[in-house]
Amino acid sequence: MPIHEQSLIRPENLKTHDKLVLDGVDVSGHWSTFIEPRVVTDYNEALQEEIAALPGGEHIHRCWQCGSCTNSCTVNAVNPDFNPRFWIYLIRMGMESELLRDKDIIWQCVSCNKCTYACPRDVFPEGVMKATAHWLELQGHTPKSKSTLFDEEFTEQVMATGKIEEGRIIRGFFAKTGQALMQDWLVEMAKRLARRLPIKLGFLMGWATIFRPRTRGWSRAGEAIEEYVHEQQAKQRKALSLE
């Protein structure tokens, strides 16, 4: 596979005059191509440190920009704008406003860890993607992604009962994100199951979930986890100067 490059020159900054004569010489067309100068003044020198203060971002400083992460990335293969190597570069350079141009797709990392497998510097780029997505949310640059809402729904259930039940998670998540549970394809899937297994239909859609799996004697563990999570969240907000 080729190395996936990301040009630092934006297409809109490449200027070409269709008709241009300079000192009597015709330089129309590509002859006159030049790059509009761009001066970056809004560096955020704390950016790398802020990302490194969030879980997963700890090792961002190790990156030497080889590009193996982007080259192996599952999401990059679907969307070439998804470029972990480039974002790590921007973060290390403190180019916050450049990073923000891609703010709405960073959360799409599917945690496949192909990048972590390929990275020669143990940067753990998968973690850096998660840290960056959380940084965007904490700073208010993006609303909580659906992925974050799903993680939170899941974690709340684990903290509460020690176990999860898929139907309940799906219902909780759809409620949090304001989506209809009766999506065509979910219904179709349930129908296919119901042909052979009527019980499972109810289980999946949560209509018949009376029984809620739980770990016995979980409450102390759940409370200890919750206390720890709150402590960590306060620390992170402090590191990002949000207090």
Partner 1 sequence: MNKYRKVAYYPGCALEGTAHAYNRSTKEVGKALGLELDEVKNWNCCGAMEVKNVDPKVQTYLSSRVMSIAANEMGADVVMAPCNGCYHNLKKAEHDLAQDAGSREVVERISQKAGHATYRAGQVETIHALDWIKHGLGEEGLKRKVKNSLKGLKVANYYGCMYTRPRHIFPEKDKGPGTESTSQPHFMDDLLEAAGAENVDFPLKTACCGGAHTLSDSDISTKLVLNILRAAEAAGADVIATECPTCHSGLEMHQVRAEKVFGEKTKVKMLYFTQLLGIALGLSPRKVGVHENVSDGIALLKDKELA
Q: Is residue 102 close enough to count as binding partner 1 by CB under 8 A? A: no
CA distance 47 to 64: 17
Say which residue the tokens 């563990």 belong to.
221
The item of partner 1, ligand SF4, none sharing an interface with residue 71, based on CB under 5 to 8 Å by kind, is: none
Q: Rounded to whole angstroms, how far apart are CA atoms 86 and 128? A: 12
- Taking the complex as a whole, the smallest distance from the CB of residue 115 to ligand SF4 amounts, in Å, to 3
Q: Beta partners for 25?
A: 22
Instruction: Find tokens 């990392």 and name the residue.
Output: 109
With binding defined as CB under 6 A, does residue 85 bind ligand SF4? yes
Closest-CA residue to 55 (of 150, 138, 169) = 138
228 near partner 1 (CB under 8 A): yes
In the list partner 1, ligand SF4, none, the entry touching 223 (Cβ below 5 to 8 angstroms by class) is partner 1
3-state DSSP call for residue 171?
A: helix
CB of 56 to partner 1, least distance (A): 7
Structure tokens at 117: 């497998």
Distance CA 75, CA 113 (A): 11
* CB environment 157-170: b (16+ within 10 A), e (fewer): bbbebbebbebbbb
Beta bridge partners of 26: 21
125 counts as binding ligand SF4 under rule CB under 6 A: yes
- Helix or strand run (H / E) with residue 187: helix 184-196
Q: How many residues bind partner 1 (CB under 8 A)?
A: 65
Residue from 182, 197, 234, 242 in contact with partner 1 (CB under 8 A): 197
- Partner touching 102 among ligand SF4, partner 1, none, CB below 5 to 8 Å by kind: none
Q: Which residues contact partner 1 (rule: CB under 8 A)?
A: 55-56, 74-75, 78, 108-114, 116-117, 124, 126-127, 130, 134, 145-152, 154-155, 158, 162-167, 170, 173-174, 177, 184-185, 188-189, 192-193, 196-197, 200, 203-204, 213, 215-218, 220-221, 223-225, 227-229, 232
Q: Which residues contact ligand SF4 (rule: CB under 6 A)?
A: 63-69, 72-75, 84-85, 88, 109-115, 118-121, 123, 125-126, 129, 164
